[in-house]
Structure formats: structure tokens, C-alpha cells
Structure 1
Amino acid sequence: MRDDTFVLLTTVPIKAGCEAEYLALVYEVSDQMRHEPTFVDTVLHRSADDAGLFMLQETWRDRADYFAVQMRRPYRARYEARLPELLRAPREMKVFEPLRTDRAEATADSAPVAALERFYAAEANYMAAGGARGGASFAPLAETLAPDVVLHQSPDLPWGGEFYGHAGYEDWARQMSEAFDALEVKDRQLVASGDTAVAICRLVTRSRVNGSTINAPMAQVVRVREGRIVEFRPFYWNAPDYRDAVGSAR
């Protein structure tokens, strides 16, 4: 680690009955702060003996920037304003300097990989049932996705854009169902680190418009929270092929 890296441990004792509200607030902040240039990682812990006792473990670079800039970010305002009403005792914040980090190598049974495998199975069943065009139920696929899931699709693609929540994801799935009558993820290799899984695979699709088949490399970066996918960012090979395949379907 760089010499300016530090770890902030914050113990947060929450009143009984307020745990769900606290988690919603802290997840909201975590989903924003991970985009900060000095952010490294964060882990939220809960006491095994006290359901209302949490510990937030944050790793950052540049301690001065954290307290002068990061703590004052607008997206923290709601959390900081509401937290005093949720606390049953003052929170405690302590700063540590990391000395050594050891991690096990990512394995195929890690939680993010397992979540991604569940998604692929549900997606395959959804497409086999005809997708949205064929009236397939989206519910089993939705079970693999967090309610606040975000899907980032490259603007170079016919279905490019940002898709938010189950409704947004279902809209994207409808677009894919209208464009392709077959879609399969093959030869996938999955690795995980922390809350993130990366899939290296081949995407095989068949166009409803002209019957053409694309069999191309693809990578997907997926972030998982509590066993469900909360963020999806796929990377396609040669976007013009997909534009040609979709043609008048868009």
C-alpha cells in the first residue's frame, strides 16, 4: 500500500428497530463514495452478538483530503443529518495505518461468483422461455438482482444507456428479447475480489431481424451486495456487429 493509505474504523451502535434504516443510509453513501479517486475499499460489519452494533471499515488514501473534502461530500448530508436520531450511543472513529494485507486467492465458490452463476442460470431460463417477447416471467431473474441494481450499457450499442432498478433492467431485457431470439453466455471464467466478480466469456446471439449469429468475446464486471447483483457493467467486442444484427429492430 502507498504510504498515505489509512484505515478508518467507525463503531456505530444503532437503536433497536432502526437497523434497516441505518443500512439503507450507509449503503447509499457507500454506493457513491466508491467512485472517489482516493477511495480504496470499505467493509461493513455487524456484531454477531448485537444486531444493532455495526462497524464500518474504510480504507482511503490521503488522510487530510478525507477529513477536509470527503466527509463534506453532499451525498453524505442525509446520512450525517439522520444518524444522531438513530444512535443509541455516540459513534467512535479511530484511524489506523495498515502494516500488512493477506488475502486468499479468489475461488469459484466465492459469494460474488455464486451470485453471478445464479444470475446466468435465471437469465438462460428467461431466454429459453421466450424472454419478454414470449411472455416469460421476469420474477426469477429479478430475484438475483438488488432492488437498486444499476446496469451500465455502452452508448455505442443499440441498447446503450443506464438502466435503474428492476423496472429498468426488465426494460433492457425486453429490448434484448425483441432483438435476439437466442442469447447464451459460453466458456465463462469467473474470478472475484471483495464484492466484485469478473466474467470472461463468449456471448452467442442470434438476430430476430436477419438471423445472423454473433459469437464474440465479452467481459462483465459485476458488484454484489448481500448475495444479489447491485451493479452490472458489460464490455462487448465490436459494437458495430450488434448494430448491424439489430438493424430495424430499434
Structure 2
Amino acid sequence: MSTEETARLIRRTYEAYGRGDLQTVFAGLADDIEWTSQGADDALPWAGRFSGHDQVGQFFARVAETVAVETFEVLDIIVQGDRAAVVARITARLRTNGLPLAAEKADILRVRDGKIVRFTEYYDTGLVARTLAAPAEEQRPA
């Protein structure tokens, strides 16, 4: 795939995610997608490795059960050939304790035959785990 084709696919997929359009997101993923979300799975319900559409669907379900995404903004997309890096900012509210969460993340992707075949996300897992574990009272304004 050319750099331009990869960039179009990545942009289209991330724009779809930002709109909550998972059908379009999945259309951009290969059937044998390898999806990795960093973190300890005992602290972050969505952390781990997921293979194929069914397991990636489980990833998205775990995220949706735990987090209400309020904003999702792509800050930068860097593409070379069949590889891409995406930097994004997310603001959300945790369903578990009502606390707000704001974090930046970096994703590394690989494309083959017009589909994303590998996705790995990196973010401050410690911050997210601490916020998930915190009682709501800890972060309420005085």
C-alpha cells in the first residue's frame, strides 16, 4: 500500500471512531487483526491482546462498559508506506466512579491489502488504573 492509501484508511477509521461508528471501524480491520492494549488486565478491563473481529469487539465492549468517551481528537497522524502512528487525546467519564479522565495516547498500526492488520495502543496506564480504582470522593472539588 502506498503512503497516501494508508493515510486515507487510517484517517477514515479514526474519524469513524470519533463519531462512534464502529461498523466503519471494523470495515477497516482485517479479519485476522492483532489488537493490543497495554496495561495489566487486573487493573484495566480492556487491557490485553485480541485477535480477530470477535475479540476486538470484546475489547470495545469492555471499554464501553467502563468509560463514556466525551471527546476524541486526533492530534497527529504519521504514515510511511504500510505503517502509521497516531497521537490522540481522549476525555471521558468513568462509569465505575463518575470521575473524569483525560489522556493522550499513541497508536502504532500496520496495514496489509487495504486493511489494518496490527494495532497497538500506548497510554499512561498508571493514571488510568489509579483513576479507575479511586473512590469518587477523592477527586470532588471542595
Question: Which TM class, normalised by the smaller chain length?
Answer: 0.7 to 0.9
TM-score using structure 2 length: 0.79
Match of 1:208 in 2: 95
Q: Structure 1 segments of 4 or more deviating over 4 A? A: none
> 5+ unaligned residues in a row in structure 2: which ranges?
135-142
Residue 150 of structure 1, CA deviation: 0.7
Does 2:34 align with 1:140? no
Residue 124 of structure 1, CA deviation: 2.4
Match of 2:72 in 1: 185
Q: Which has the higher contact order (CA 8 A, sep 6+)?
A: 2
For 1:204 and 1:225, the matched residues in 2 are separated by 31
User: Which structure is higher in strand share?
Assistant: 2
| 1:97-116 correspondence runs (5 A) | 110-116=4-10
Aligned partner letter, 1:246: L
Larger radius of gyration: 1
Deviations 1:58-117 (A, max 9, x none): xxxxxxxxxxxxxxxxxxxxxxxxxxxxxxxxxxxxxxxxxxxxxxxx6xxx22221111
Match of 1:164 in 2: 51
Q: CA RMSD in A?
A: 2.3
Q: Evaluate the alpha carbon distance shift between residue 246 and residue 178 of structure 1 in structure 2; reply closer, same or farther with a 3 A threshold.
A: farther
Conserved 8 A contact 1:209-1:245: no
> 5+ unaligned residues in a row in structure 1: which ranges?
1-42, 44-105, 128-137
Match of 1:243 in 2: 129
Aligned length: 130
For 1:168 and 1:161, the matched residues in 2 are separated by 10
Does 2:15 align with 1:121? yes
For 1:113 and 1:204, the matched residues in 2 are separated by 24
Deviations 1:174-211 (A, max 9, x none): 00000111153324211111200111222222211222
